[in-house]
Amino acid sequence: MRQILIIDDEDDIREVAALSLEATAGWDITTACCGADGIRAAADPKHRPHAILMDVMMPGMDGPTTFRQMQLNPEIAGIPVLLLTAKVQGVDQRRFAGLGVAGVLFKPFDPLTLAAQISAALGWKD
Amino acid sequence: MTDAEDKTAALLSKLWVKIQPIVEERLATLDKAAAAEGILAEDLRKEAESSAHKLAGSLGMYGYDEGTRVARELEVLLGEVKPDAARLSALVTELRAAVFPAA
């Protein structure tokens, strides 16, 4: 079963994303409410995620900074990260894509198609 | 509707009720910014921009696509150093009507 880690500071976004991915794809979801907790959760060998869905704008350590910190840890550097952003301007999108993340998804997302969007971005067939 | 769609729709209805105080709080911040009528303090402008950003990123998830559209316009406007006061006020009114049409 796929394990996904969701990192977002907004409670309702985490809740909708987690429950919709469980309901529509049957994936196992863990969540974290900030970048530091997200790094700790990703490094937990018992729940090593297959992918991370992470918000861009978070207080404290934002998504891009958290991603760069993850790249410094060889145990989690290989986990694909999808950034989740409400920024729709092209300049922001190009900046995020240039970080080396696996993809960028947009808020607001459709809870019913979020799993399909993640699978498509990561090339997952199942 | 499939079982997953049913579950997700039920979850969204419940969550929408639960997050209404947060939506109201964000709208209140935008109201405050609109009431400043051109003398918008930098702190309040940033707070209002953040509220608009969060609303833009979440309203559509609950089916309020028009709310997301207007909130995005507000976010762009509030990103300016001196947002146009009349436009700001009109957009905040439009946003409130899009989210709570009967209010």
CA A17 to CA B39: how far, in whole Å? 39
What is the pLDDT averaged over residues A105-114? Answer: 93
Cβ atoms of A45 and A71 within 8 Å: the answer is: no
Q: What percent of chain A has pLDDT over 90?
A: 79
Which residues from A are below 8 Å from B54, CB to CB? Answer: 10, 86
| Contact criterion met (CB below 8 Å) for A69 and A61 | yes
Average pLDDT over residues B10-29: 92
Q: Which of B4, B12, B58 sits opposite A13 (nearest CB)?
A: B58
Contact state of A23 with B7 under an 8 Å Cβ cutoff: yes
Q: Indicate which of A6, A16, A83, A85 best probes the interface with B, i.e. most B CBs within 10 Å of its own CB.
A: A16
Percent of chain A with pLDDT over 70: 98
CB contact under 8 A, B15 and A15: yes
* Beta carbons of B8 and A12 less than 8 Å apart: no
Instruction: Please name the residue of chain B whose CA is at the shortest distance from the CA of residue A59.
Output: B50
| Identity of the residue in A12, A57, A109 whose CB atom sits nearest the CB atom of B15 | A12
End-to-end CA distance of chain A: 10
Please write the tens of the pLDDT for every residue from B40-89.
Answer: 899 999 999 999 999 999 999 999 999 999 999 999 999 998 899 999 99
Would you list the domain boundaries of chain A?
3-122
Residue-wise pLDDT for B86-101, tens only, equals 999 999 999 999 999 8
B18 to chain A: which residues are within 8 Å by CB? 12
Mean pLDDT score of chain A: 93
**Beta carbons within 8 Å of B33's beta carbon, 6+ residues apart:** B40, B44, B45, B47, B48, B78, B83, B88, B92
Provide the whole-model pTM.
Answer: 0.89
Q: Above 80 in pLDDT, residue A100?
A: yes
Q: How confident is the model over B14-42, as a mean pLDDT?
A: 92
Q: Which residues of A52-86 are buried (b: 16+ CB within 10 A; e: fewer)?
A: bbbbbbbeebbbbebbeebeeeeebeebbbbbbbb
The answer to whether the Cβ–Cβ distance between A112 and B8 falls below 8 Å is yes
If we measure between CA atoms, which residue out of A112, A113, A115 comes closest to residue A126? A115
Residues whose CB falls within 8 Å of the CB of residue B79, separated by 6 or more in sequence, listed in order: B49
Cβ-defined contact of B61 to A10 (cutoff 8 Å): no
Query: What pLDDT score was predicted for residue B103?
Result: 60
| B46 interfaces chain A, CB cutoff of 8 Å | no
Instruction: For chain A, count helices (H), then strands (E).
Output: 5, 5
Does the beta carbon of B60 lie under 8 angstroms from any beta carbon of chain A? Answer: yes
Least confident of B4-13, B21-30, B50-59, B85-94: B4-13
Q: What is the pLDDT of residue A95?
A: 82
Separation CA B52–CA B67 (nearest Å): 10
The answer to ipTM > 0.90 is no
CATH fold of A3-122: Rossmann fold (3.40.50)
How far A49 CA lies from chain B's nearest CA (Å)? 23
Residues 87-126 of chain A with CB under 8 A from chain B are 88, 107-112
